[in-house]
């Protein structure tokens, strides 16, 4: 069981950004994908999620052997794909507790009824918010409106826990977080991996790897995979940067 791309080639408008990308995230493992600015990391994350701006010219995306290349985003999400965004968006007018309730209802396939809030879910969410280093009253605020960068990331983790996807893509999970925030998110990623989720962490620096041990590391540059291995690649990048990879191409 895995999230896979096979020869994935993606354009934005006329420009080809990803070139024949083959990667595989198995359940219960964490793959860390690293690359310099502009190498195509966000393009990969949004292509996996099915953003219409990113056109797949060649290749496919498989989720547990099902071809999801042409499916809309909501179907991918219902099949078990989650994305934690680099910059979570603000949703004025929608309280976080309501969003969490709606995600839970959708997940449990109940009919959506805005007036019926599950009190047990809200107690659970308040406790989880505390574990994530948030004040529980944040549930009564509009989603991400006026949240600090770190609060946005932590609130998104809370939503992810309710969504309970099989595979989770984390786009720059360590950006905008202080050291305690990175540790909390890192520990959460570890527990998700240990519970059998497939984790794809997309990042350009190695902060998060102080807390998350990678099963595999992939390096991309200019839209192509240029190296594959283990933890040693992270050390190499920390020491020498991406210069060698960019010069080879
Ligand atoms: N609409 C567009 N038209 C032309 N080029 C684009 C467009 N959108 C993205 N690109 C280019 O695609 C390349 C990859 O962008 P992407 O955002 O995926 O990189 P990234 O690895 O996530 O970068 P960063 O680490 O800086 O966030 C960049 O060179 C970018 O300028």
The ipTM, to two decimals, is 0.94
Of 172, 246, 233, the C-alpha closest to 207 is 172
Give the residue, by CA position, lying nearest to ligand 1 atom 25. 37
Give the residue, by CA position, lying nearest to ligand 1 atom 17. 42
Tokens of 71: 């499916």
Q: Sorting pLDDT into bands at 50, 70 and 90, what band is 246?
A: confident
Q: Sorting pLDDT into bands at 50, 70 and 90, what band is 205?
A: confident
Report the pLDDT value the prediction gives residue 9, as an integer from 0 to 100. 98
φ, ψ of residue 133 in degrees (nearest 5): 85, 25
Global confidence as pTM = 0.90
pLDDT digits (tens, 9 = 90+) for 153-193: 899 989 999 999 999 999 998 888 888 889 888 998 999 99
* Buried-exposed string 210-220: b where 16+ CB fall within 10 A, e elsewhere: ebbebbbbbbb
Give the residue, by CA position, lying nearest to ligand 1 atom 29. 38
φ, ψ of residue 10 in degrees (nearest 5): -130, 135
- Which of 9, 13, 17, 83 most suits a substitution to test ligand 1, by most atoms within 8 Å of the C-beta? 17
Report the pLDDT value the prediction gives residue 114, as an integer from 0 to 100. 61
The percentage of the chain sitting over the pLDDT mark of 70, rounded to a whole number, equals: 96
- Of the listed ranges 5-9, 54-58, 240-244, the least confidently predicted one is 240-244
CB of 47 shorter than 6 A to ligand 1: no
Tokens of 102: 């709606």
φ, ψ of residue 17 in degrees (nearest 5): -105, -45
Over residues 8-15, the mean pLDDT reads 95
* Rg value, the chain, Cα: 18
Over residues 57-83, the mean pLDDT reads 95
Pick the CATH number of 2-247 from 1.20.1050.10, 1.10.287.70, 3.40.50.10710, 3.40.50.300: 3.40.50.300
CB of 76 shorter than 6 A to ligand 1: no
CB of 15 shorter than 6 A to ligand 1: yes
Over residues 191-210, the mean pLDDT reads 91
The percentage of the chain sitting over the pLDDT mark of 90, rounded to a whole number, equals: 70
133, 188 contact by CB (below 8 A):
no
- Which atom number of ligand 1 is nearest to the Cα of residue 220? 21
Over residues 36-41, the mean pLDDT reads 93
CB of 12 shorter than 6 A to ligand 1: yes
Average pLDDT of the chain, as a whole number: 91
CB of 128 shorter than 6 A to ligand 1: no
pLDDT digits (tens, 9 = 90+) for 72-123: 998 999 899 998 888 888 999 999 999 999 888 887 766 656 667 788 999 9
Give the residue, by CA position, lying nearest to ligand 1 atom 27. 37
Where along the chain do its domains lie? 2-247
Whether 248 has a pLDDT exceeding 70, the answer reads: no
Q: Rounded to an integer, what distance in angstroms lies between the CA atom of residue 38 and that of residue 29?
A: 26
Sign of CA dihedral 218, 213, 231, 174: positive
Whether 245 has a pLDDT exceeding 90, the answer reads: no
In the reported structure, the alpha carbon of residue 43 is separated from the centroid of ligand 1 by a whole-number distance in angstroms of 7
């Amino acid at each position: 069981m895995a999230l896979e791309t096979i020869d994935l080639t993606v354009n934005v408008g006329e420009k080809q950004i990803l070139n024949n990308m083959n990667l595989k995230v198995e359940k219960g493992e964490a793959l860390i994908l690293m690359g310099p600015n502009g190498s195509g990391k966000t393009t990969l994350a949004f292509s996996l999620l099915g953003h219409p701006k990113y056109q797949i010219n060649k290749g496919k995306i498989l989720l547990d052997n099902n071809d999801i290349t042409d499916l809309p985003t909501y179907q991918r999400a219902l099949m078990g794909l989650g994305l934690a965004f680099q910059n979570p968006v603000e949703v004025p007018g929608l309280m976080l507790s309501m969003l969490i309730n709606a995600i839970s209802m959708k997940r449990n396939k109940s009919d959506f009824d805005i007036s019926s809030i599950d009190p047990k879910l809200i107690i659970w969410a308040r406790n989880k918010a505390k574990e994530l280093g948030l004040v529980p009253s944040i549930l009564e605020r509009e989603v991400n409106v006026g949240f600090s960068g770190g609060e946005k990331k932590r609130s998104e983790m809370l939503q992810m826990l309710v969504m309970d996807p099989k595979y989770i893509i984390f786009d720059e999970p360590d950006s905008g977080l202080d050291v305690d925030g990175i540790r909390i998110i890192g520990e959460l990623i570890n527990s998700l991996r240990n519970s059998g989720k497939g984790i794809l962490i997309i990042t350009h620096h190695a902060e998060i790897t102080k807390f998350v041990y990678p099963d595999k590391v992939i390096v991309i540059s200019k839209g192509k995979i240029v190296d594959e291995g283990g933890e040693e690649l992270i050390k190499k990048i920390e020491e020498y940067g991406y210069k060698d990879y960019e010069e080879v191409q």
